[in-house]
Amino acid sequence: MPDALLDLNGLSAGYGETSVLENVNIGVALGEAVAVLGRNGVGKSTLLMSLLGLTTMHGGTLHYRGEDISAWPAWRRARAGLALVPQEREIFRSLTVEENLVVSAMPGNWTLERVYELFPRLEERNRNLGHQLSGGEQQMLAIGRALIGNPKVILFDEPFEGLAPVIVDQLVDAFWKLRADQGIGVVLVEQHADLALEPTDRALVLDRGREVWAGLSRDLAADGALLGTLVGLESA
């Protein structure tokens, strides 16, 4: 992919000798958001783990900012600017909101103040411990923790799963604000096709670990029959 921030070609990967993904391709340009769709168990989360270096890579290459990082360990990829907002959130439950953020901070445009501006609720709860937060607040904190590390690519794994509609609305609004930051590339794994396609530029659909469709998000969103065939019509 020309001018890609992140460029994955022909990925085959899994866990140990077990293969989950076969010949998967994905590219993310600076300021671009890409949705990864598919039914449960098709390899979406494994794709994110592979980008982070947490699976066994059987084939293919991964370039980041023009450099082949296929053999890089996970810590080096994270230090270079790849960040994950995990489905399980994985915040530090015994630390306060502010401590969770400060411990992850790296120099850059995203500061504690800017995270609080994006999520005012976190500032209101900044002295609360992680285990005292609601599910929605924990998700805000997980996103804020990723941002304050000032990454170049953020990988979101089912960020809206299990949350009340009012919280989903707040997170979608924050996602749109994040999209305005042209210095970050985004990969969004999400079960709800409508939530994933509206704020993204391009989409990739997986089935049984293989790429079955790739193109513009707006084209897939406009073709209800195709969308239903590929992933089912799941809405928030």
C-alpha 220: how far from its chain's center? Answer: 20
Residue 182 lies in a domain: yes
Asked whether residue 235 carries a pLDDT value surpassing 70, the answer given is no
Q: Which domain-ending residue is among 109, 135, 150? A: 150
Q: How far is CA 15 from CA 44, 53, 68, 72, 195, in A?
A: 14, 11, 21, 17, 29
Q: What is the pTM of this model?
A: 0.91
Residue 159 lies in a domain: yes
Residues 97, 190: one domain?
no
User: For residues 73 and 53, is the Cβ–Cβ distance under 8 A?
Assistant: yes
Asked whether residue 234 carries a pLDDT value surpassing 90, the answer given is no
Residue 234 lies in a domain: no
pLDDT in tens, 10-23: 999 999 999 999 99
Asked whether residue 155 carries a pLDDT value surpassing 50, the answer given is yes
Host H or E run for residue 44: helix 44-51
Residues 62, 175: one domain?
yes
Asked whether residue 138 carries a pLDDT value surpassing 90, the answer given is yes
Whole-number pLDDT of residue 182 = 65
Residue 119 lies in a domain: yes
Residues 73, 160: one domain?
yes
* Number of domains composing the chain: 2
Q: Which domain-ending residue is among 132, 150, 168? A: 150
Whole-number pLDDT of residue 27 = 94
Residue 120 lies in a domain: yes
Q: Which domain-ending residue is among 150, 170, 189? A: 150
Whole-number pLDDT of residue 236 = 42
pLDDT in tens, 58-81: 999 999 999 999 999 999 999 999
pLDDT mean across residues, the chain: 91
Q: Mean of the pLDDT values across residues 139-161? A: 93
Residues 13, 73: one domain?
yes
Residues 135, 166: one domain?
no
Three-class secondary structure of residue 68 per DSSP: strand
Residues 32, 118: one domain?
no
Residue 139 lies in a domain: yes
Residue 235 lies in a domain: no
* Through-space distance between the first and last CA atoms of the chain, rounded to whole angstroms: 32
Give me the CATH number covering residue 68.
3.40.50.300
pLDDT in tens, 43-61: 999 999 999 999 999 999 9
Residue 236 lies in a domain: no
Out of 30-34, 100-104, 144-148, 171-175, pick the least confident: 171-175
Residues 106, 223: one domain?
no
Q: Which residues pair with 82 in a beta bridge?
A: 153
How far is it, in rounded angstroms, from Cα 50 to Cα 61?
11
Residues 156, 146: one domain?
no
Residues 31, 122: one domain?
no
Range of the domain at 189: 4-81+152-228
Residues 94, 144: one domain?
yes
Residues 75, 158: one domain?
yes
pLDDT in tens, 99-133: 999 999 999 999 999 999 999 999 999 999 999 99
Helix and strand element counts for the chain (H, E): 10, 10
Residues 94, 129: one domain?
yes
Query: Which position has the token pair 């890609």?
Result: 4
